[in-house]
Structures are given as structure tokens and as C-alpha cells.
Copies of this chain bind each other. A is one copy, B any other.
Amino acid sequence: MSQRKARTVKPVAREARQVPMRDFSQSLPMALLRAREAVMRQFRPSLRQHGLTEQQWRILRALAAVDAIEVTELARVAFLLGPSLSRILRDLEARGLIQREADARDLRRGVLSISTKGLKLIAQVAPNSEAIYASIARRFGARKLAALHKMLDELERSMGSDVAFGGDTDE
């Protein structure tokens, strides 16, 4: 037991593990992740039945709300990074769910719109999706839901669009 080199790896002793960090349970990103996952777990099966991922669904919904939209603007609205959006658009276009053409005034810009087929798919998924949302609002409470939305919005605003703390650059 007092050998200098143990045959099996031994955990570092508790006294040596004292690390200057708050507990995991107080991690804000973790709390947000857990809450979001709990909500998405309700929606995913329904979307999956229709062959859609969460992100694809976001894009279709965003397109259904407008006449046409540019790629960059869609990325902003659907909250997706450019590279992810590029890949998904390629797929959705191949499936005939969306249409795309170049902006005549600026050939760099792509203009997107939803297709009739895409609209039909939305019409199929929407009722179920709305029912799930209603169920969530009922269980959690519409009042509290509104309050939560407000706080999340405030949190986002208070972070600003920049990074607030540089810290030890160290190199």
C-alpha cells in the first residue's frame, strides 16, 4: 500500500484537487443548455417524423414568413453560422423545399424563398408543433413563460455584441 508507484492509476487526493471554481450547478451556460434540451426533447420526435432537423425547421419557418431573403440575413434571423447555413441550404434546395437565385444587382448575394413543396411540409408539421408549444406554455405557465422570455432577452442584451472581459492574454 505504501509503494511509490501504484500499479493502477490513483485519483489525485482530495486535498490536492481544491480548485477555485464555483460548483457546476451554478453554471449559467449549463442551466441554459439543460433547459433548452428539455424543451427541444419535446419537439425533436415530431420534426424527425417529417425528416427535419431543428435547424432545417428554423430555416423553413423563417422563409415562410417572408417573400424572399438574402443568405446573410437568413443566417441572422435563424441564428445559424454561415458555414452551417451553406450546407443546409444546399440540402434543402436539393430536396426542393426552397428556391434560390442570384441577386441581379449584386451577383455575390443569393436570394432565397420557400417553395410550394416547402409550404406543404410546414403545413403538415405546424399543427403538431403548435400543440407541443401550447402544452409547454400550459405546464410551465403562460405568465412565467413571458417572464422567462423577458429575462432571456435582457441577459442577451446585457452581454452586448462584444466580449467584455479580455483577461490574461499571457502570450
Interface size class on chain A is: 35 or more
Question: Is the pair B158, A65 in contact by a Cβ cutoff of 8 Å?
Answer: no
Cα-based distance from A77 to B116 in the complex (angstroms): 45
Inter-subunit contact B32/A119 (CB<8 Å): no
Shortest CB distance A128–B (Å)? 4
Is the Cβ of A135 less than 8 Å from the Cβ of B165?
yes
Q: Which of A10, A153, A159 has the most chain B CB within a 10 Å cutoff?
A: A159
User: Is the pair A163, B65 in contact by a Cβ cutoff of 8 Å?
Assistant: no
Contact A42 B9 (CB under 8 A): no
> Which residue, of A35, A37, A115, A170, has the highest number of chain B Cβ atoms within 10 A?
A35
Least distance between A99 CB and chain B CB atoms (Å): 4
A11 and B131 form a contact (CB under 8 A): no
Question: In whole Å, how far is A105's beta carbon from the nearest beta carbon of chain B?
Answer: 13
B139 touches A21 (CB 8 A): no
B22 engages A29 (CB within 8 Å): no
Which residues of A approach B to under 8 Å, CB–CB? 8-12, 14, 16-17, 19-24, 26, 28-43, 45-46, 49, 54, 58, 61-62, 64-65, 67-68, 77, 79, 99-101, 113-116, 119, 122-123, 126-133, 135-136, 139-140, 144-145, 147-149, 151-156, 158-159, 163-165, 167-171
Q: What are 9 sample pairs from A and B whose C-beta atoms fall under 8 A apart? A: A11-B67, A19-B61, A24-B58, A24-B65, A26-B149, A29-B40, A127-B168, A135-B164, A136-B159
